[in-house]
Amino acid sequence: MPRRPHSFEIGRFYHVFNRGVEKRDIYLDDVDRYQFLLCLAYYQQLGKRQRFANTDFELTDRETPYRFAIHAYCLMDNHFHLLLEELADDGIRQGLRHALDSYVTYFNKKRGRVGSLFQGRFKSVPVETDEQFVHVARYIFLNRFVASMEAQVGSSPWNGYSEYSEKPPRLIGQHDKLLAYFGGDQNRLHTFIVDHAGYARSLEGIKHLVLE
């Protein structure tokens, strides 16, 4: 199992993920999912000292500079995927620690529970090349579709790819670097994502027939 590296390097990209303890659901409704994004966006901001619970923060209030950039995200039922870029020293580690702790506090208070919600510390895998960067983004964007949680890729607001089609977009993600790989052509990006969707879903359908 990949482990969180001891340190993150500024300018590098990382696939970050975690799931619920005992594989339990970490989002029970859309209010939970939105709250998770709020926590993530709040602590993405560098230098925030006030606890998120004591603010009236909304996504449109987010201000630079950031600890990290969010290039892709996807919220499933019992886990999440993020494609992040380190922008400040220790930005991902500190920002995600605060964001996840804040979300757990919210979730436990709302549901009258105590204890851990996530399966230990978040995991991360460094992205080594530009090609890996776009393939990891596609993998993240396809997760909900592959799991039959979306009829069309990006039709859910909990898939970061929806930001490329929503009017207006939610703007949690930073789109410039992914689009730059495709010459700024959104249609080329869309083709890259969607043309692989059926194949990815077919692999999910036969996963139980092969040895891992």
Q: Would the pLDDT of 11 be above 70? A: yes
Return the CATH class of domain 13-209.
alpha beta
- CA 83, CA 103: separation in Å to the nearest integer? 19
Listed by start position, the domains of the chain span 13-209
Residues written for the chain: 212
Which tokens in the block code for residue 165? 């089609």
Backbone angles phi, psi at 159, to 5 degrees: -115, 120
pLDDT bin (cut points 50, 70, 90) of residue 168 is low
pLDDT for position 210? 37
Mean pLDDT for all residues in the chain? 88
pLDDT bin (cut points 50, 70, 90) of residue 197 is confident
Q: Would the pLDDT of 7 be above 90? A: no
Q: Which amino acid is at 183?
A: G
Cβ 7 vs Cβ 124: under 8 Å: no
